Structure 1
Amino acid sequence: MTKSGAGGAGRGLGGYLTLFAALYGAYGALSPFLPAFLGERGASPQQITLFLAAATLTRLVGGPLAGRLADRTGRTRTVLAASLALAAASNLALIAGHDFWSLIAIGIVQAVWTAPLAPLADALALSAARGGRAFEYGWVRASGSAAFIMATILTGFLADFWGSAAGLWVCGAAFAGAAVVATRVATSSHPHSHPEVMSGTMPSRSGFLALVAIPAFRRVVLAAALVIGAHAMHDAFAVIVWREAEISSRTAGLLWSISVAAEILVFLSAGPWLLARIGPPGVIALAAFAGALRWAVQGATTWLPALVAIQGLHGLTFAALHLACLALIERSVPDGLRATALGVYGALGLGLASALLTLASGQLFGVFGIRAFWAMSALSLAAIPLALSLRAGK
Structure 2
Amino acid sequence: MSSDTPSADGSIRPSVLSGAGKPRFFETRMALLYMAVMLPNGIMTPFLPYWLKESGFLPAEIGVLLALPLLARVVAGPTISAFADRAPDRVPILIGLAVLSTVAAAGFLPKPTYVFILFISIAYALFWGPLTPLADSLALSGVRRYRSDYARMRIWGSV
Task: Report if TM-score (shorter chain) is over 0.5.
Answer: yes
> In the alignment, which residue of structure 2 is the partner of 1:254?
none
Pair 1:124-2:128 in alignment: no
Judged with a 3 Å threshold, the aligned counterparts in structure 2 of structure 1 residues 97 and 87 are, in CA distance, closer, same or farther, namely: farther
2:151 is matched by which residue type in structure 1?
G
Task: Pick from 82, 91, 94 the counterpart of residue 80 of structure 1.
Answer: 94
In structure 2, the gaps of 5 or more residues are 1-14
> In the alignment, which residue of structure 1 is the partner of 2:65?
51
Q: How many residues align?
A: 143
Deviation at 1:72, TM superposition (A): 2.1
> In the alignment, which residue of structure 1 is the partner of 2:152?
139
Contact 1:129 1:136 in 2 (8 A): yes
Q: What RMSD in Å do the two structures reach over aligned CA positions?
A: 2.0
Deviation at 1:74, TM superposition (A): 2.4
In the TM superposition, 1:24-103 aligns within 5 A as 24-103=38-117
DSSP 3-state at the match of 1:95: coil
The C-alpha deviation readout for 1:287-343, integer Å capped at 9, x for no partner, is xxxxxxxxxxxxxxxxxxxxxxxxxxxxxxxxxxxxxxxxxxxxxxxxxxxxxxxxx
TM-score by length of 1: 0.34
Instruction: Determine the C-alpha separation between the residues in 2 that align with 1:8 and 1:43.
Output: 50
Pair 1:110-2:124 in alignment: yes
Which is bigger in relative contact order (C-alpha 8 A, separation at least 6)? 2
TM-score by length of 2: 0.82
Instruction: Determine the C-alpha separation between the residues in 2 that align with 1:67 and 1:124.
Output: 12
Instruction: Determine the C-alpha separation between the residues in 2 that align with 1:71 and 1:8.
Output: 21
- Percent identical residues: 31
Deviation at 1:140, TM superposition (A): 1.1
Instruction: Determine the C-alpha separation between the residues in 1 that align with 2:152 and 2:54.
Output: 38
Instruction: Determine the C-alpha separation between the residues in 2 that align with 1:31 and 1:68.
Output: 26
In structure 1, the gaps of 5 or more residues are 147-394
In the TM superposition, 1:129-208 aligns within 5 A as 129-130=143-144, 133-146=146-159
Contact 1:62 1:116 in 2 (8 A): yes
> In the alignment, which residue of structure 2 is the partner of 1:17?
31
* Runs of 4+ that moved beyond 4 A: none
Structure with greater proportional helix content? 1
DSSP 3-state at the match of 2:147: coil
> In the alignment, which residue of structure 2 is the partner of 1:270?
none
